[in-house]
């Protein structure tokens, strides 16, 4: 079993590494192809893919860093480092998309004919290479691999859109389709950047995780016979996947240490089913004066 887990840990890093080099190679081809074909749609997707390459590189690095044990400096481990990569990647995509929009909008009113045959070739290549990266990552089971594979799936869909647009321009003289595709791709990227930054900032500001229902948490603990009440309930997420919770549990009467241990295990099992991976529980009795009760 230990050998299997070790191989699996190496496999997930290897999958992301392969996807990174595939994406980076095609990004270089795409930038050159976009310039040669005079297509702002391809150049706008190249900016997106460059951001994806950066994201994949960070994911590859942080997938290895996340396996480090916690230290005195980072008592929760290194999981939150991935948020830094997410914010940096979002800023890169934001700046790139604004630059592309600044070039694409004027060309919408004064369109230039791109090299349609070159666009078709690059689009087919884009679907194939990005599809190969998605296939490689979808074989993995880690959350990091699944999230990155969904991100690359967006690239495949973007290239399918370019392929359809180039196909139309091959038969119809409609050069405005190229900047129109560029604007659509850029707006789609900006929408996802907004969502990613909003989610990252919520985690960094220690907002309660959207996957953890605090009302259900309190109700599940109150169902335990020995529990009278709960307060000072706080929950936050380390990286959007690993959730932490602290809570004060008021008992009907004082309990021996063995009983407290049993209750603690029951509560932890209940919280785990509700999406909490790490919890700190403090037991109290009704007569106890808790300073934190008014702050909950």
Alpha carbon 221 to its chain centroid, in Å, reads: 31
Q: What is the pLDDT of residue 245?
A: 95
Query: pLDDT, tens digit, for every residue of 97-110?
Result: 787 788 778 877 88
Report the alpha-carbon distance of residue 236 to residue 243 in Å, rounded: 6
| Ordered alpha helix ranges (H), 143-288 | 143-171, 177-204, 214-222, 257-273
Q: How far is residue 222 CA from its own chain's centroid? A: 34
Task: For residue range 111-167, list pLDDT tens digits in order.
Answer: 777 788 888 888 888 888 878 877 777 665 455 565 566 567 767 777 787 788 888
Q: Which contacts (CB < 8 Å, 24+ apart) does range 179-184 have? A: 179/40, 179/41, 179/104, 179/105, 179/107, 179/108, 179/111, 180/108, 181/41, 181/44, 182/40, 182/41, 182/43, 182/44, 182/100, 182/101, 182/103, 182/104, 182/107, 183/101, 183/104, 183/105, 183/108
Question: Contact, 41 vs 178, CB < 8 A?
Answer: yes
In this structure, the answer to whether residues 173 and 258 fall within a common structural domain is no
Q: Are residues 196 and 257 in the same domain?
A: no
pLDDT of 80 reads: 77
Looking at 170, 204, 238, which one is the last position of a domain? 204
Containing domain of residue 158, as a range?
A: 2-204
C-alpha–C-alpha distance, residues 243 and 247, integer Å:
14
Task: Indicate whether 85 and 44 sit together in one domain.
Answer: yes
Mean pLDDT calculated for residue range 189-212: 85
> Does the pLDDT of residue 2 top 50, yes or no?
no
**pTM score, whole prediction:** 0.68
Residues 35, 177: one domain? yes
CATH number of the domain to which 285 belongs: 3.30.70.1350
């Amino acid at each position: 079993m230990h050998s299997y887990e070790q191989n699996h840990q190496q496999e997930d890093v290897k999958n992301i590494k392969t996807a990174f080099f595939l994406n980076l190679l095609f990004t270089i081809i795409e930038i050159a192809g976009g310039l040669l074909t005079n297509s702002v749609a391809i150049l706008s997707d190249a900016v997106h893919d460059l951001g994806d390459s950066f994201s994949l590189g960070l994911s590859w690095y942080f997938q290895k860093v996340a396996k480090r044990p916690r230290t005195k400096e980072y008592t929760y481990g290194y999981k939150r480092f991935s948020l830094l990569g997410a914010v940096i990647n979002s800023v890169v995509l934001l700046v790139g998309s604004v630059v592309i929009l600044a070039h694409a909008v004027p060309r919408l009113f004064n369109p230039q004919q791109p090299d349609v045959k070159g666009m078709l070739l690059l689009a087919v290549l884009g679907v194939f290479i990005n599809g190969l990266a998605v296939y490689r990552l979808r074989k993995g089971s880690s959350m990091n691999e699944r999230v990155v594979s969904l991100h690359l799936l967006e690239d495949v869909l973007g290239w399918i859109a370019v392929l359809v647009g180039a196909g139309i321009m091959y038969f119809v003289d409609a050069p405005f389709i190229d900047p129109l595709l560029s604007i659509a791709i850029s707006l789609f990227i900006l929408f996802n950047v907004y969502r990613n930054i909003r989610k990252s900032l919520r985690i960094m500001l220690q907002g309660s995780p959207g996957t953890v229902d605090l009302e259900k948490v309190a109700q599940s603990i109150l169902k335990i016979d020995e529990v009278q009440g709960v307060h000072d309930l706080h929950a936050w997420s380390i990286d959007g996947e690993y959730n932490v919770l602290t809570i004060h549990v008021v008992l009907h009467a004082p309990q021996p240490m063995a009983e407290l241990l049993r209750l603690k295990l029951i509560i932890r099992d209940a919280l785990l089913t509700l999406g909490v991976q790490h919890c700190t529980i403090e037991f109290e009795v009704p007569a106890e004066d808790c300073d934190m009760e008014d702050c909950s």
